[in-house]
Amino acid sequence: MTTTYRNYIGGEWVEAASGRTFEDLNPANKEDLLGRFPRSDAADVDRAVEAAREAFKSWRLYPAPRRAEIVFRAGELLLKRKEELARLMVREMGKVLKEARGDVQEGIDTAYYMAGEGRRLFGHHVPCELPSKFGVAMRVPVGVVAAITPWNFPLAIPTWKLLPAIVCGNTVVFKPAEDTPLMAHAFVEILIEAGLPPGVVNLVHGYGEEAGAALVRHPGVNLVSFTGSSETGREIARVSAETYKKVSLEMGGKNAILVMDDAALDLAVEGAIWGGFGTSGQRCTAASRVIVHDAVLKGFTQAFVDRAKGLRLGSGLEETTDVGPVINETQLRRIHEYTEIGRKEGARVLLGGEIATEGELRRGFFYRPTIFGEVDPGMRIAREEIFGPSVSVLRARSLEEAVEICNNTNYGLSSAIYTRDIDRAFRAIQDIATGVTYVNASTIGAEIQFPFGGVRQTGNGHREGGWTVLDIMTEWKTVYIDYSGRLQKAQIDV
């Protein structure tokens, strides 16, 4: 029996107004149906926004430390159910169990961090130029937040958005990716169990072009917080401008690892394997390019290919699996198209380059870990986001050239340099234009207490994570209190 799940609006579980549904499949075995979910449209979004607007009236006045206690309890519940949620995540999204545990852990970390924030939410007191006058800037909630989240971190990324939104006093309409609705459902159930009042978080399932688009257009939404592709992000910004919404976008990446001639090569190879093929390359922080110094290019490439050859494809639930499936058929085809494009452009496929169909793999969406050699920085495979287990190895004759190649993309999320020379490390930190840079570590694995995001087409100036997410989830309000008992004129009474 397949379960049919519902939306959660104003504290009630409801079907889509149209009664339509869509299916949630296991990417490692497309015969494994996880459930049916409401295929929502503008009518459902209207109800959800209305519920969020109504709840905002009281939620914004509920003390922040109390709001944060609910978030803390949600963290406790996530911890208690970590294993169960991780296993469900493997089944729904495909990443290997260890990484799925990490995804849940990232949610727990965010909950504990944000719970503490409920007793901080610091403002600023600044002295006034006039006597007997007091000035303070404080944070106030934005209002109704539309949280539109991707499938690749089906628990962590929703927590990055929803938990700070809640602590700051906003209410939320949550539209999760249609590939991972069950994780979103489980997360909302946890928020309810933690004591979140009705209407504070409303869950609307469905497709981006239907439910997502209606949400972005809706005049009752004050902020859109989106993680996903750069194309969709640009469209969201464009549509949001019509109704003067605040927009926070976290989009694509084409992240590079720079390997210098003095690097610890084994470490660099491990970093490239982990960054390139972890989560089947489906992270916006994935290391899809490795830019290697001429002097070590041959040795590095050989070791990288040898090591990648040993990676085992399979279900993420098997202990022996290193690389799980990719999310769906469309992505599988897209990844393979890029292999064809790379071949045509003159790159050499050193490993993989094909859809894996032997044995059990036939039942899911598996792509072989793929490495391209002889990649020119101008090739599409070196510039465009593939979002799969596909890595290009590029040559550089110096640190300067490597940095130039690294920066020469439309994206700017994460980067890494392997070197034992501290001067080079600092020069890379100074000259690489990305939101995150690692030294002697791979491009993935950001910690939640730091700002996360990027430049160019990766972002629009905001940073999730850490204290910086508060600037997304709040507006500044400046308050002046004049206790002089007379009319005082700033800039004039000098």
Selected binder of ligand UN1 within 40, 110, 152, 328 (CB under 6 A): 152
Quote the tokens at residue 201. 């978080």
Closest distance to ligand UN1 from the beta carbon of 227 (Å): 6
Quote the tokens at residue 216. 């972005």
Nearer to ligand UN1, 4 or 449 (CB): 449
If binding is defined by CB under 6 A, does position 284 make contact with ligand UN1?
yes
Selected binder of ligand UN1 within 45, 55, 446, 472 (CB under 6 A): 446
Four-CA torsion 199, 200, 201, 202, nearest 10 degrees:
20
Q: Segment contacting ligand UN1 (CB under 6 A): 161-169, 277-285, 329-337, 422-430?
A: 277-285
Closest distance to ligand UN1 from the beta carbon of 324 (Å): 15
Q: Build a one-symbol-per-residue string for 37-76: x at contacts with ligand UN1 by CB under 6 A, - elsewhere.
A: ----------------------------------------
Helix locations, 316-460, DSSP H: 329-345, 380-383, 399-407, 422-431
Closest distance to ligand UN1 from the beta carbon of 346 (Å): 30
Q: Segment contacting ligand UN1 (CB under 6 A): 27-35, 76-84, 292-300, 443-451?
A: 443-451
Selected binder of ligand UN1 within 35, 135, 373, 445 (CB under 6 A): 445
If binding is defined by CB under 6 A, does position 469 make contact with ligand UN1?
no
Catalytic residues: 250, 284
Closest distance to ligand UN1 from the beta carbon of 248 (Å): 14
The answer to whether 252 touches 230, Cβ cutoff 8 Å, is yes
Q: Segment contacting ligand UN1 (CB under 6 A): 131-139, 173-181, 398-406, 440-448?
A: 440-448
The answer to whether 407 touches 429, Cβ cutoff 8 Å, is no
Q: Segment contacting ligand UN1 (CB under 6 A): 5-13, 320-328, 404-412, 444-452?
A: 444-452
- Per-residue burial over 132-155, b if 16 or more Cβ lie within 10 Å, else e, is eeebeeebebbbbbbbbbbbbbbb
CB proximity list for 245: less than 8 A, separation 6 or greater:
216, 221, 222, 223, 224
- Name the residue among 38, 148, 29, 3 with its Cα closest to residue 92: 29
Calpha distance 351→339 (Å, rounded): 11
Calpha distance 130→126 (Å, rounded): 12
Taking the CA atoms of 249, 250, 253 and 259 in sequence, report the sign of the dihedral they define: positive
Selected binder of ligand UN1 within 112, 153, 387, 418 (CB under 6 A): 153
Closest distance to ligand UN1 from the beta carbon of 159 (Å): 11
H or E element, residue 239 = helix 230-242
Q: Segment contacting ligand UN1 (CB under 6 A): 87-95, 136-144, 279-287, 425-433?
A: 279-287
The Cα-based distances of 157 to 163, 270, 272, 275, 375 in angstroms read: 10, 26, 24, 18, 33
**Count of residues touching ligand UN1 (by CB under 6 A):** 10
Selected binder of ligand UN1 within 287, 391, 444, 473 (CB under 6 A): 444
- Name the residue among 187, 188, 239 with its Cα closest to residue 212: 239
Nearer to ligand UN1, 202 or 255 (CB): 255
Closest distance to ligand UN1 from the beta carbon of 444 (Å): 4
If binding is defined by CB under 6 A, does position 283 make contact with ligand UN1?
yes
Closest distance to ligand UN1 from the beta carbon of 415 (Å): 12
If binding is defined by CB under 6 A, does position 101 make contact with ligand UN1?
no
The answer to whether 487 touches 470, Cβ cutoff 8 Å, is no
Calpha distance 307→303 (Å, rounded): 6
Written as one string, the DSSP assignment of 130-193 is STTEEEEEEEEE-SEEEEE--SSSTTHHHHHHHHHHHHTT-EEEEE--TT-HHHHHHHHHHHHH
Closest distance to ligand UN1 from the beta carbon of 283 (Å): 4
Calpha distance 284→362 (Å, rounded): 27
Helix locations, 278-414, DSSP H: 294-309, 329-345, 380-383, 399-407
Q: Segment contacting ligand UN1 (CB under 6 A): 280-288, 330-338, 394-402, 478-486?
A: 280-288
Selected binder of ligand UN1 within 285, 315, 331, 458 (CB under 6 A): 285
If binding is defined by CB under 6 A, does position 86 make contact with ligand UN1?
no
Name which of residues 203 to 262 contact ligand UN1 (CB under 6 A). Answer: 227
| Site for ligand UN1, rule CB under 6 A | 106, 152-153, 227, 283-285, 444-446
